[in-house]
Structure 1
Amino acid sequence: MCMKTILTAFLLLFIPLACSNNAENSKNTYNSPEADTPVVLSKTLESQNIQSDTQNNLEQKLIKEAFLVFETQDLDKTFGQVVTFINNNKGYIQNDNSSKSYNRVSRQITVRIPTQNFQPTIDSISQSVKHFDRKNISSKDVTEEFIDLEARLKAKRELENRYLELLAKAKNVKEILEVEKELSQIREDIEAKQGRLQYLQNKVSLSTIHIEFYKTIATESGVTVSYAQKMWNALKSGFNGLSYFVLGLLTIWPAIIIIGFSIFMFRRWLKKRNK
């Protein structure tokens, strides 16, 4: 009975002391500089923010793009119609190119349109086109990447603030250099994620429509030329050749005068010599 009482008293004294020491160790570990390492900070902050932001940001992010190719009989009229559709839907032309081949004249334009007006613009163009050589509409869901980038960017900024606090508490040059090295890497990551996020935001808010319309030109192959037309063409060619010859002589008239004078003097010299 005595032994049991002593053992009970020992346990009652030991357990509170052990709990107090563990709590103190945990507190010291949290406040110690070793706990503020890049791996611990980045993993803790990023995992917490990704979980919370994934639950809060569930708006779907879609990148929409379309390719339209069709034939028209009037390029200028079709271009004017397309511009009207674009203006009505608050878009703008990003690129405008024209090209011409042996029997085809075409125009290619790239249009950026607010995503909410993407389908109305496609419908407006479709109503004025009888047949599409190509009509391809695609949609890419980037919601997951968008949310992940936002969460990681938030975590990196919080991590940057923690390192700025460590920099203020640095005691020597070595500690300052180590913290600044980590800060430099963190800021590079922030800039990269910001750039990617801005790119996605632009693609999501403004959809892209590639439009090509063309006109077929009739060729002159198979046309028979009459004999009289051939004679007239030959006379014109002869007259043109004679004109070119006369113009060539006029171009070198100083040389002709010098050569003629040289021949005249040479013949005169020969006559005197024969006498």
Structure 2
Amino acid sequence: MKRLLTLPLFCLISMHCNKQQPQSVNADLVEVLQEDKAFENTPPPPPPRESPVNKSTMVSSSPVTGQQEPQPSVEPISKKIIKNGEISIQVGDVKKAQQQLGDILKKNKAYIQKEEYQNTDTAEKISLVIRVPHQEFDGLVNSFSDGIGSVTSKNISTNDVTEEYTDVSIRLANKKIYLEKYRNMLKTAATTKDILEIQENIRELEDEIDTSEGRLRFIDDRVDFSTLHLDLYKEKVRSSATSKIGFGSRFADSLTEGWNTFVGFSLGLIALWPFLLIIPLIIFLWKKWRSRRKNK
């Protein structure tokens, strides 16, 4: 009888143990899921603080990746000032004034870039384009005030091109960066179409770089060496208001002009010799015809 009661009791205990084990597993699984859900709901940590951006660094869109990339910072550029001048000087002797000019240019480390000579009926003139280091420009201009002749006109101008120079420099640096990127892409290009497109972009960038570098060289040249347009002239017919020209020079010019006028008049008469021959012949024939008509 005891055995019969023990067997059902053992079965009940076994069934109860089997039911308790899955419940513990399910409880563990629920705890894991709750932890995962809690982790997902946890707000992410704040992003790291970025270092302050340099004001000299600019941001642009890359033509290669289409993303914004910082441009390289450009070193501070000193003032770029271009000086130009125009001076006209009236002299008594052009050749002598030109010799004096040579000494002045040598003293101020200047040189003649262009020279043009004109000799007309009214004036003799030498037009010069002079290049001088910008440090010597003011000294050269002041050297013309005395010793050569009378300064009849003077125009000095300055042009600040610092902003243009800085802008061209920044663009040039960016173009060089993009050119390097395109060259790296060309090494890994897989199709002919990609190769041709990259090569075309490289060609355009190289042309733009050459243009920008040429512009910078031109500005540097104009900044380092100022340009002065100088005219040395002598009037062949002068008025009494001429300054720094003596009476003797004006008297000699008047005699020369009078002689030139006489020679010109004489040559004009000689040029009319056909008329001087034909007109008397016409008058003779007309008188002869008139006398015959009266006799009839």
| Fold conserved between structures, TM > 0.5 | yes
| Structure 2 letter corresponding to 1:211 | L
What corresponds to 1:11 in structure 2?
41
Gaps of 5+ in 1: 20-34, 226-232, 242-275
Once the two structures are TM-superposed, the CA of residue 172 in structure 1 deviates from its matched residue by 2.0
Compute the displacement of 1:6 (Å): 8.0
**2:131/2:227 contact within 8 Å kept:** yes
Q: 1:224 to 1:60 in 2, by over 3 A?
A: closer
CA-to-aligned-CA distance 1:120-154 (integer Å, 9 cap, x gap): 11111223256321100001111111111111111
* Aligned positions, number: 202
% of aligned pairs identical?
26
Which of 146, 159, 162 lines up with 1:143 in the alignment? 162
- Per-residue CA distance 1:3-51 (angstroms, 9 max, x = gap): x988644313x848xx9xxxxxxxxxxxxxxx9634847x745xx23xx
User: SS at the partner of 1:116?
Assistant: helix
- Quick one: distance in 2 between partners of 1:36 and 1:148? 18
Q: Structure 1 length as normaliser, TM-score?
A: 0.64
SS at match of 2:190: coil
Q: Give the 3-state SS of the residue equivalent to 2:200 in structure 1.
A: helix
Q: Are 1:97 and 2:123 counterparts?
A: no
Offset, 1:197: 1.2
Q: Which residue of 2 aligns with 1:76?
A: 95
Query: Compared with structure 1, are the counterparts of its residues 71 and 44 closer, same or farther at alpha carbon in structure 2 (3 Å cutoff)?
Result: same
Superposition pairs for residues 165-184 of structure 1, below 5 Å? Answer: 165-184=184-203
Pairing 1:37–2:67 present: no
The two structures have a TM-score, normalised by structure 2, of: 0.60
Residue 103 of structure 1 deviates from its aligned partner by 2.4
The DSSP-based 3-state class of the residue aligned with 1:63 is strand
Find the counterpart in structure 2 of residue 107 from structure 1.
Answer: 126
Cα deviation, residue 199, structure 1 = 1.1
Pair 1:192–1:86, CA change in 2 (3 A): same
Larger radius of gyration: 2
- Which residue of structure 1 aligns with residue 79 of structure 2? 60
Kept in 1, the 8 Å contact 2:89–2:232? The answer is: yes
- TM-align CA RMSD: 3.2
TM-aligned CA distance change 1:167 to 1:190, over 3 Å:
same
Correspondence list, 1:117-156, <5 A: 117-129=136-148, 131-156=150-175
8 Å contact 2:62–2:178 — kept in the other structure? no
Gaps of 5+ in 2: 1-30, 48-60, 237-252, 274-296
Between 1 and 2, higher relative CO (CA 8 Å, sep ≥ 6) is seen in 1
SS at match of 1:127: coil
Distance 2:260 2:201 in 1: 78
